[in-house]
Structure 1
Amino acid sequence: MKVAYRSDIGRIRLVNEDRGWAEQSETGLAFAIVADGMGGHQAGDVASQLAIDTFREVLQGTTAAHSLDERKVLIRQAILQANEVVFDMASRNDQYHNMGTTVVAALLQTENGVIGHIGDSRAYKWRDGVLSQLTEDHTLVNELVKSGQITSEEAINHPRRNVLTRALGTDAQVEVDVRGIPWAPGDLLLLCSDGLTNMVSVQEMTETFLLDELDLDGKADRLVQLALQAGGDDNITVVLMHHAEDTKQEE
């Protein structure tokens, strides 16, 4: 497994409220998570960091000896525990009132993986020249598209496109979307915040992954630069995981 992680404050924001983490255990199980925080008075970065820290604490020490169904339970438990921690902090501190975060996370083994998410941070898989979106945004605009009230094209520039219908830490109870995915040699997984997907098209992402002259590190850099060149309106965070024979983490 190769891993590359990048996070950039962007061109507009004063604080980077995105957080990310990726790691591979000695047993071969790989973890990754991206969180995009929100909340007044710089509470967003507190929410996203708490979510990442809790997720790590729950999962570190986990072995690869888990079935796919067991890992689905595990990733759901880790995200729900993060929800408890963030909600508790927000409830007990006025300065953190209503803070929350999106989260998209992955647990990968040799042949398959599990994706869990809340909000509009996304997961994509690249296989055989095709980029597939693995998550569905929990947003008002996505609900409008699904109900046929607006088109996908109208959703791109809709004035309320950033309104979430679900987030981590804003309520005591939250639903986590969890799914299993095939994971084979040559596959590449992208986890990212909406600072990437609101600025960079699927076509541009595809063109990036097709550039054989760029290593995983270079592809992560290019994705961030494309978002910055398009305006960099938000924080941008990218985690790339490549199912490769040699194991390397690129910083």
Structure 2
Amino acid sequence: MKAVNKTDVGKVRQINEDSSWVNTDWNGLTLAIVADGMGGHKAGDVASQMAISVLQEQLLEISRDTSTEQCEDFLRTAIHAANHKLYELASSNPAYSGMGTTIAVVLANSEWLLAAHIGDSRIYLCTEQAVLQLTEDHSLVNELVKSGQITAEEAATHPRRNILTKAMGTDPFVDPDVRLHDWKAGDLLLICSDGLTSMVGEDRISEFVRNTDSLEQKADRLVESALEAGGDDNVTVVLLANEAMEGGASA
């Protein structure tokens, strides 16, 4: 597995509340996480970093010999634990009141991947045939689109498009969506915060990830495109390529 991890504060925000981390040799598997924090002064930064830290601690026992069913159980338990820790801190410390974070997690080997998420950070699977969104935004505008009240085009500019219906740390309990998918050599995964998807349309995202650039160049182009479109938010991109490589990598 090969991986690239890029983030930028953007052109408007003073603090980067996104956090991300990837390791291509997590006991024989690949583990990648993107978290987009929210809250008061620096609270979002704390929330996203804490969420990733707790997940790392909770997933230490996973290995290449762990079944997919057990991996899913581990992921759910880890996300529940992170949510509990965030909620406790937000409830007990006024400085962190109202803080929370999205989470998008991929656990994979060369044949399968588990995609888990809460919020509107997304995971895309990019194959030779198509670019498929594996996650469904937990957002107000997505609910409005699903109910037919607004169109997908209207959702892109809706004044309440940043309102989440589910996030980590804002409620005592939150359950992630976790799905198992097949993938194969040559496929690519994109994990990103909404700082990318709110600025760059899916057609452009598909164009960047399916071209012949290197993995590093693809990530650079995605981030640069979000900045050129306005850079209204922090933008984070993690790319995972299903290719053999020597050793592991972390970022």
Map of 1:71 onto structure 2: 71
TM-score, structure 2 normalization: 0.96
Deviates more, 1:14-23 or 1:69-78: 69-78
* TM alignment of 1:190-209, pairs within 5 A: 190-209=190-209
Q: 1:54 to 1:250 in 2, by over 3 A?
A: closer
2:76 touches 2:175 (CA, 8 Å); kept in 1? no
RMSD: 1.3
- The gaps in structure 2 that reach 5 residues or longer are none
Alignment size in residue pairs: 250
1:168-207 map, 5 Å: 168-207=168-207
Q: Aligned residues: percent identity? A: 50
Q: Which sections of structure 1, spanning at least 5 residues, go unmatched?
A: none
Provide, for residues 31-71 of structure 1, a one-character-per-residue CA deviation record: whole Å limited to 9, x for no partner: 00000000012210000010010011111342111111111
| TM-superposed deviation, 1:26 | 6.0
Q: Distance in 2 between matches of 1:109 and 1:200?
A: 29
On the 8 A contact 2:21/2:250 being kept in 1, the answer is no
Aligned partner of residue 40 in structure 1, secondary structure: coil
Aligned to 2:242: 243
> Offset of 1:250 from its aligned partner?
8.3
Q: Which residue of 2 aligns with 1:219?
A: 218
Q: TM-score, normalised by structure 1?
A: 0.96
User: Is the Cα–Cα contact under 8 Å of residues 217 and 250 in structure 1 kept in the other structure?
Assistant: no
Partner of 1:49: 49
Amino acid in the other structure paired with 1:223: L
Shift of 1:85: 1.0
**What residue in structure 1 maps to residue 149 of structure 2?**
149
Q: What aligned pairs does 1:18-29 form with structure 2 within 5 A after superposition?
A: 18-25=18-25, 27-29=27-29
Distance apart, 1:24 and its partner CA: 2.1
The letter for the 1-side match of 2:9 is: I
Q: Distance in 2 between matches of 1:250 and 1:238?
A: 14
- Does the aligned pair in 1 maintain the 2:127–2:187 contact within 8 Å? yes
Give the equivalent residue in structure 1 for 2:35: 35
Q: Is the 8 A contact 1:28 1:110 kept in 2?
A: no
3-state SS of the aligned residue for 2:69? helix
Aligned residue number for residue 8 of structure 1? 8
